[in-house]
Structure 1
Amino acid sequence: MPPRLRAATRDEVAAALAGRTRADLKLLTKHYMAVLNERAPGHSVEVRVPPFAAVQVIPGVRHTRGTPPAVVEMDAETWIALARGELSWAEAESSGRVVASGQRADLTPYLPLG
């Protein structure tokens, strides 16, 4: 797991969900990225939630230089809603809240995260 990512405790997640400050969004983003990394280890898809975090996940061809073959990008609120099951992948994609390109860029099999 990237050193900057870590799963938060239940209490930390609950407090961040109640607060929703910039610091809370950062904690929640990194928490759910860490959970995704644990559940879908690999390097074939880069998931980006600027400016807070990016992680390469999902088994497949390992990416080492330049733009990965599959990229998923969204804002923190969208990522948190997807991770918690408050928003479906199809809804996020059709509304333009998620930009996904390349093979394996559909995260539906891995969501929600809990």
Structure 2
Amino acid sequence: MPVIKPHDILAGETALRQWAQLARVQANDVASADDLLAISPRLSRRDMAMAVRYSLYMLQLRAPGPGVEVRIAPFAAVKILEGPKSDPHNLTPPDVIELDPDVWLRMACGITSWHQEKEAGHISAVGERDDLSHLLPLPID
């Protein structure tokens, strides 16, 4: 099942751009790099879901494969990067990364880095390929 339906791609792109624009405005008002970790623009639940799904769709295009599962609860999950697939008895791949929506969108949009969010304890990652820093930020502009 695709992370975003083809007819929702434009809505997802629009929602992601809106989130990024609001986040950049908030980023201009922060006093320190640590304050960037609190940036959390509010969108409607539907728009937030569309922004997450579209950004995960973009991630899949950049790094296709079955080896790492990226979960952004409660909105979506995708499998990316080459590597061992999940075994038939356990559908979870050996590498799993779990993030909150705002954490994911901050990194996807270049507001914060993987390292900043990891150091702050905002990333739950298990496995050998638990660093997506080489794939972020995503090209959204």
Q: TM-score range by the shorter chain?
A: 0.7 to 0.9
Whose Rg is larger? 2
Task: Indicate if the aligned counterparts of 2:97 and 2:126 stay in contact, CA closer than 8 A.
Answer: yes
**Which one of 33, 57, 64 corresponds to residue 80 of structure 2?**
57
- Percent identity reads 34
Q: Does 1:93 align with 2:94?
A: no
Report the equivalent of 1:33.
56
Say which SS state the counterpart of residue 55 (structure 1) adopts: strand
Structure 1: stretches of 5+ with no match in the other structure: none
Q: Does 1:47 align with 2:70?
A: yes
RMSD over aligned CA atoms reads 2.0
Greater percentage in helix: 2
| Pairs aligned (count) | 113
Kindly provide the amino acid, as one letter, of the partner of residue 26 in structure 1: A
TM-score, normalisation: structure 2: 0.71
Kindly provide the amino acid, as one letter, of the partner of residue 22 in structure 1: R
Kindly provide the amino acid, as one letter, of the partner of residue 78 in structure 1: V
Distance 1:30 1:64 in 2: 25
**Which one of 105, 108, 113 corresponds to residue 80 of structure 1?**
105
Kindly provide the amino acid, as one letter, of the partner of residue 25 in structure 1: M
After superposing on structure 2, the runs of 4+ consecutive aligned residues of structure 1 that deviate more than 3 Å are 10-19
